[in-house]
Amino acid sequence: MVQKYGGTSVGSVDRIHNVAARAVAAQAAGNEVVLIVSAMAGETNRLLDLARRVTELPDRRELDVIAATGEQVSSALVAMAIQSQGGKARSFLGHQLKIRTDSAFTSARILAIDAEALRQSLKHGSIAVVAGFQGVDDAGNITTLGRGGSDTSAVAVAAAIRADVCEIYTDVDGVYTADPNVCPGARKIERISYEEMLELAALGAKVLQRRSVEVAMKYGVPIHVRSSFSDAPGTWVVGEEAGLESVVVTGVTSDKSEARVMLVAVEDRPGVVATIFGALAAENISVDMIIQNASSDATGRTDVTFTAAKSELDRVDKVVQAVAEQVGAREVRFERDIAKVSIVGLGMRSHAGVAARMFDILFREGINIQAIATSEIKVSCIVAAKYAELAVRALHDGFGLDRPTTTG
């Protein structure tokens, strides 16, 4: 089995000993155990802040060299703790396991893992303690997998060694109908489909990194999200099957990590959006929602709005300013104080009127909707950032998510 422990779970010497004890117990119960560990709580933020105090726009390759050290420390500490408790353990860094990634520094993707080293370690009765979040590219550079990336390390390792289960130990005891730290009425979900978990993760529920769910879905790895502070069963993330709750809306989530960018009064002619988004793509900048109005009058001009990660805004600014003149934009506006609130559920496929109900719930709270996006199993609205928590609670209530549902 693979067990992944997040930052809070390895946040102190006592907690590191707790992790070691759990791993030793799991091994004593007859399992071959691979641990993936995150950096100690707060450490990755500390390291990245340090870099930004040296220079405003740090080089991404060097950022990864710094950020990866957090997991190097915790993997060694956990291995030592296991040894001190009489167990056998050995730490592994990304390059030692040949966790090969592409070269997209700060958000690299895993290409392959050399499972042989792990198998050897397991064969000798040793617990392998793998540093999460990090890998190595073909040129030997250290890479990291994006914030929350240890989840993805864990699922990828589980897939590589064909583990029976990938347990994700964190500071909540499962996946809830909304972030329990935001929504007091949130309820633990027993089983959730990969599809729904993927949307929740992509739309802001940071309990699992989005890519970890993608990898789990691709390789059919069952994920069990649970608490490192108790033995209570958590949430199983599994393929679509009977036993999933039959509800229209499974979860509500919000995301404040994006900003809105508006190119005002660009020319309404072929090639304008191609120019704007081509330039962004050339810089490897992902955009999320895109809204373009039809030009409403004879001016032949329209507004193009999109959202992108706040952390990319400096780069977005450069690119957009460079094309603004070319597309005839009168002005470029940035709005950072926004949040995306979303509802997710497989049941939406077969129910009409879900979006309308969402708009009505937000309206009743006096919350203005700035943009909307829908797909088969989700609806997202952009609202003012100050309303994010209120919107989550209102939607959670409005869709009755605090009430237990029938299963099967």
**Piece of the chain touching Mg ion by CB under 5 A; list 5-13, 25-33, 135-143, 187-195:** 5-13
Q: Which helix (H) or strand (E) holds 393?
A: helix 388-398
Which CB, 32 or 151, lies closer to ligand ADP? Answer: 151
Q: What are phi and psi of 28, to 5 degrees?
A: -60, -25
Other C-beta atoms within 10 Å of 124: how many?
Answer: 10
Residues of this chain that bind ligand ADP (CB under 6 A): 6-9, 38, 148, 170-172, 175-176, 178-181, 205-207, 251, 253
Query: In whole angstroms, how close is the CB of 158 to ligand ASP at the nearest point?
Result: 15
Query: In whole angstroms, how close is the CB of 10 to ligand ASP at the nearest point?
Result: 10
Task: Indicate the SS3 state at residue 163.
Answer: coil
Cα 14 off chain centre by: 27
Q: Which amino acid is at 330?
A: R
State which residue has the least CB distance to ligand ASP.
150
Query: In whole angstroms, how close is the CB of 39 to ligand ADP at the nearest point?
Result: 9
User: Does 148 help bind Mg ion (rule: CB under 5 A)?
Assistant: yes
Residues of this chain that bind ligand ASP (CB under 6 A): 6-7, 38-39, 44, 70, 132-133, 147-151
User: Does 234 help bind Mg ion (rule: CB under 5 A)?
Assistant: no
> x/- binding map, residues 315-344, to Mg ion, per CB under 5 A?
------------------------------
DSSP string, 26-45: HHHTT---EEEEPPPTTHHH
Query: In whole angstroms, how close is the CB of 159 to ligand ADP at the nearest point?
Result: 19
Q: Which residue has the tokens 């399992």?
A: 31
State which residue has the least CB distance to ligand ADP.
6
CA atoms 134, 58, 339, 377: torsion sign: negative
Tokens of residue 240, six digits = 């679509």
User: Does 70 help bind Mg ion (rule: CB under 5 A)?
Assistant: no
DSSP string, 153-193: HHHHHHHHTT-S-EEEEESSSS-BSS-TTT-TT--B-SEEE
Query: In whole angstroms, how close is the CB of 106 to ligand ADP at the nearest point?
Result: 17
Largest CA distance in the chain: 79
Binding site for Mg ion (CB under 5 A): 6, 148
